[in-house]
Amino acid sequence: MSEHSSAKGGVPHSAHWGAFSAAWDGHTLAVTPHPSDPCPSPILDNFPQALRHKARILKPMVRRGWLRDGPGPSTARGQDDFVEMEWDAVLDLLAQELVRIRDRHGAEAVFGGSYGWSSAGRFHHAQSQIHRFLNVAFGGYVRSVNSYSAGASTVILPHILGPLELVCRRNVTWEQICAHTDTVLSFGGMALKNMMVASGGVSRHIESEAIRAAQQRGTHFYLVGPIRDDLPVEAKAHWLAVNPGTDVALMLGLAHSLMAHGLHDRAFLDRYCVGYPVFEAYLQGQPDGQPKDAAWAASITGIAAADIVALARRLAGGRSLITVAHALQRAEHGEQPVWAAAALAAMLGQIGLPGGGYNYALGALAHYGRRNNAVPIPTLPQGKNGVRPFIPVARIVDMLLNPGAAFEYNGASLRYPDIKLVYWAGGNPFHHHQDLNRLRDGFARIDTLVVHESAWTATARHADIVLPATMTLERDDIGAAATDPLLIAMRKAAPPIGEARDDYAIFSDLAARLGVAEAYTEGRSAEEWLRHLYAPTRQALADRGLEAPDFDEFWQRGEIPLPSEPDDGGILRAFREAPETHPLPTPSGRIELFSATIDGFGYADCPGHPVWLEPTERPTPAHPLALIANQPATRLHSQLDFGGYSQAQKRKGREVARLHPNDAAERGIRDGDIVRLFNARGACLAAAELSEQMKPGVIHLPTGAWYDPQPGGDARPMCVHGNPNVLTRDIGTSRLAQGCCGETTIVQCERYDGPLPAIRAFDPPPAFSGPTRSAAE
Ligand SMILES: Nc1nc2c(c(=O)[nH]1)N[C@H]1C(S)=C(S)[C@@H](COP(=O)(O)OP(=O)(O)OC[C@H]3O[C@@H](n4cnc5c(=O)[nH]c(N)nc54)[C@H](O)[C@@H]3O)O[C@H]1N2
Ligand SMILES: Nc1nc2c(c(=O)[nH]1)N[C@H]1C(S)=C(S)[C@@H](COP(=O)(O)OP(=O)(O)OC[C@H]3O[C@@H](n4cnc5c(=O)[nH]c(N)nc54)[C@H](O)[C@@H]3O)O[C@H]1N2
Ligand SMILES: [Mo]
């Protein structure tokens, strides 16, 4: 296959944020968006400077203290220097450590959760590779379930409506909205920057055009949220600037208004739902003496009672669609907005109608609101995991700090396993996890942290063994998503940097050292795997009588189109049309407004029907601002934060925090000033931007700036770069789902007049060059 990109036209390639071609001439990389993409993502501009950036990892590295003292707990992680090693030696050392752990503690002492988005290619997908390695070559690992994205909704939706994927991905499409919808009521918005991304790739960004077309045809968009630009300007949205974390009260106020004015669809509730009477009694205030009327909702949400009643009337007066951003459930009691919105939509009686009802998370990712492919896409088989214990993904630090402790999850009483070795490939916990100082404490407890990375993220810096992985542009792969109509031949654009190797090559050599190379590789080279993984897609195309080029032809063309399923509304439409023959996959077969299953778990923090639960963290005089720590517009998560586009949007090298001019004036903050955000958990610097897009009392600092702790030995060091996860809370959403609560917290903000600390996050850590005596010798 291709060794280099032909300097002129470049080779086809793909990222989670778009398809493109890449041309590398040995010095510079030129990236050109796919010609048929109507609205390419600016995140593509992160690639050119990233490819050969100083933040790339060039050689295997081992933490000096680990090499000197051997495996064991250490608070030096993240501060020690590193010793370069040759590949053969480092893989010998790692294989020996894996065997030691397995012999002494068993495979259940290894956490291979390895949560993270990695890159778009389906074969070199690092998380798939590491799971396959640990299953097939090692004997299993403690895994994590669910995601940081949708921790609460993934668990509650199957109880009440159906599996997350079906409710998000095969429900109401943009096509239906353009043709049918009168009102879109969007909790948390549908920010264009979020819809530019889909795991596996998105070759055509159609959302801004779809919203424009719907608006011009007559769709009214209502944005409920603290930040006005959470809906694109094309939507010409009415803005309801709700207090963060209070949406459930607004949903209940709307539901109460429907009920009070007789606007709810009794026939729908009788035929398609269970539990409405219990929910109605709650709305009326029977159990607690508090009717959830518009006046009550207004006092909590900051939205006027008259506006709530008017909105309820509007929703009942035409084709209405309710959406809820993933963001709302990345919060304490995050199950409730997902469920309350379903209840509100059920009362409107439009679930299953074209362009109406409820499409949870529409607008959060480019996967949603599109047609699904009619043929399978390539996926790497991951083998069988020989270890039973697992954790909900965001409970990692609880696990590391409390081995053996009991916890509740979705009706089960479980215990945290005792982890000695953590192995990560394709994710960045120092990006995705909350309360990063607590994460450091967790990683200090284990014997060994192994990380495959293409760049010196904080996770790599905290590792004991760091193995340099190629970047996507440095290898051949296949790009595909189940909602995208192109299968992309992702051709290698440039040779690997330094001594970086593919995750597959690293795991193959490790498997050989464990004596099981054949089981892991099945005797295939990387190229043979691509051919092998392509075969089922080709077969499915042929079975449908479609053009089904062989692999070489596909590779040479650079892409092939995939057929899509009809826009059929999925399980909700089928259920509406024939509830007896197409029941929902819930316990009752209907929409559950009361769940006997959830009620039976007896969780006060997630009872048997949607409820308003007062959050345990509310703004205080000391920390009066609500922080929104959401997805960044300038990159995907923390990926390529050192790239040109991400860097160009920073000010004085820091991430930008937006706040309302009144909040800034109160604090003597001017546009462009460096500010310090802080609360009881930590502090970070950021650059202030004054913006009328913000609700007063709210400050916005997106995620993704690389954690850059100020040196000096502070146990809770300030991040000088602007990573909001030093501030967020590391608690579960509830005992039901145990999802993460990273989206919001409370902070204070002040002008920072001290000398500006240097940004060191993108400099390689210090390499030790003196003599080292290895414990392994
Ligand atoms: N406060 C707060 N926290 C959040 C969120 C929030 O809204 N607020 N959002 C959460 C959400 S929704 C998510 S999904 C997570 C995202 O969290 P992650 O998915 O962990 O974040 P990424 O930055 O995408 O991490 C991917 C890492 O994989 C590396 N990588 C890429 N390709 C390869 C490869 O081929 N091989 C190897 N070995 N490594 C590779 C990249 O360099 C990068 O460091 O963050 C969560 N955290
Ligand atoms: N450019 C870019 N796009 C991305 C990603 C990325 O990293 N970069 N990540 C992708 C991933 S993995 C995911 S899971 C999705 C996540 O999709 P989401 O979770 O929906 O995205 P966020 O940007 O975190 O949040 C959306 C908005 O919700 C609003 N919000 C926060 N709290 C509240 C609240 O209490 N009430 C209301 N009404 N609104 C609130 C905030 O103003 C925020 O801007 O995004 C995807 N898209
Ligand atoms: Mo996510």
Q: Of all residues in the chain, what percent carry a pLDDT higher than 90?
A: 97
Question: In this predicted model, what pLDDT tens digit does every residue of 67-119 receive, in sequence order?
Answer: 999 999 999 999 999 999 999 999 999 999 999 999 999 999 999 989 999 99
The class of domain 61-145+380-475+499-523 in CATH terms is alpha beta
Tell me the pLDDT band of 7, cut-offs 50, 70 and 90. very low
pLDDT of amino acid 8: 58
Amino acid at 675: V
- Interval between CA 766 and ligand 1 midpoint (Å): 24
Q: Is 469 in the pocket of ligand 1 (CB under 6 A)?
A: yes
Place of tokens 């940081």: 148
Atom of ligand 1 nearest to the CA of 452: 38
Asked if pLDDT for residue 774 goes beyond 50, the answer is no
Nearest ligand to the C-alpha atom of residue 18: 2
Region 269-273 average pLDDT? 98
Question: In this predicted model, what pLDDT tens digit does every residue of 387-416 receive, in sequence order?
Answer: 999 999 999 999 999 999 999 999 999 999
87 assigned to active site: no
Asked if pLDDT for residue 554 goes beyond 50, the answer is yes
Q: Is 460 in the pocket of ligand 1 (CB under 6 A)?
A: no
358 assigned to active site: no
- Interval between CA 206 and ligand 2 midpoint (Å): 19
Region 322-331 average pLDDT? 98
Q: What share of the chain is helix, strand, coil (3-state, %, to 5)?
A: 35, 20, 50
Nearest ligand to the C-alpha atom of residue 241: 2
Atom of ligand 2 nearest to the CA of 630: 24
Question: Which residue's CA is minimally distant from atom 23 of ligand 1?
Answer: 638
Task: Tell which CATH architecture fits domain 151-291+318-369+568-601.
Answer: 3-Layer(aba) Sandwich (3.40)
Non-local (6+) Cβ contacts of 688 within 8 A are 656, 657, 658, 659, 664, 669, 670, 671, 672, 673, 674, 675, 749
pLDDT of amino acid 770: 62
Tell me the pLDDT band of 773, cut-offs 50, 70 and 90. very low
Question: In this predicted model, what pLDDT tens digit does every residue of 567-618 receive, in sequence order?
Answer: 999 999 999 999 999 999 999 999 999 999 999 999 999 999 999 999 999 9
CB neighbours (10 Å) of residue 169? 22
- Interval between CA 48 and ligand 2 midpoint (Å): 26
Q: Is 625-751 the same fold as 61-145+380-475+499-523?
A: no
Region 471-484 average pLDDT? 98
- 24 contacts 4 by C-beta, under 8 angstroms: yes
Catalytic option among 115, 141, 504, 534: 115
pLDDT of amino acid 4: 47
Domain over 625-751 is classified CATH 2.40.40.20: yes
Region 653-673 average pLDDT? 98
Q: Where are the domains of the chain?
A: 61-145+380-475+499-523, 151-291+318-369+568-601, 625-751
From 147, 324, 630, 699, mutation site for ligand 2 pocket: most ligand atoms within 8 A of C-beta: 630
Q: Is 703 in the pocket of ligand 1 (CB under 6 A)?
A: yes
Question: In this predicted model, what pLDDT tens digit does every residue of 147-182 receive, in sequence order?
Answer: 999 999 999 999 999 999 999 999 999 999 999 999
- Interval between CA 595 and ligand 2 midpoint (Å): 28
Pocket of ligand 2 (CB under 6 A): 149, 187-189, 191, 193-194, 196-197, 224-227, 230, 242, 244-245, 247, 325-328, 364-365, 628, 630-633, 636-637, 743-744
Question: Which residue's CA is minimally distant from atom 47 of ligand 1?
Answer: 432
Nearest ligand to the C-alpha atom of residue 245: 2
Closest CA to 225 of 247, 208, 207: 247
Question: In this predicted model, what pLDDT tens digit does every residue of 677-736 receive, in sequence order?
Answer: 999 999 999 999 999 999 999 999 999 999 999 998 888 999 999 999 999 999 999 999
pLDDT of amino acid 60: 98
Asked if pLDDT for residue 297 goes beyond 70, the answer is yes
- 273 contacts 215 by C-beta, under 8 angstroms: no
- Interval between CA 630 and ligand 2 midpoint (Å): 5
Q: Is 126 in the pocket of ligand 1 (CB under 6 A)?
A: yes
pLDDT of amino acid 766: 86
Integer Cα distance of 219 and 212 in angstroms: 9
pLDDT of amino acid 46: 98
What stretch of H or E contains 529? Answer: helix 526-543
Closest CA to 743 of 99, 288, 50, 194: 194
CA-CA distances (angstroms) from residue 102 to 108, 350, 454, 719? 8, 54, 27, 37
Non-local (6+) Cβ contacts of 448 within 8 A are 66, 71, 97, 101, 420, 421, 422, 464, 465
Region 433-449 average pLDDT? 98
Mean pLDDT (the chain) is 96
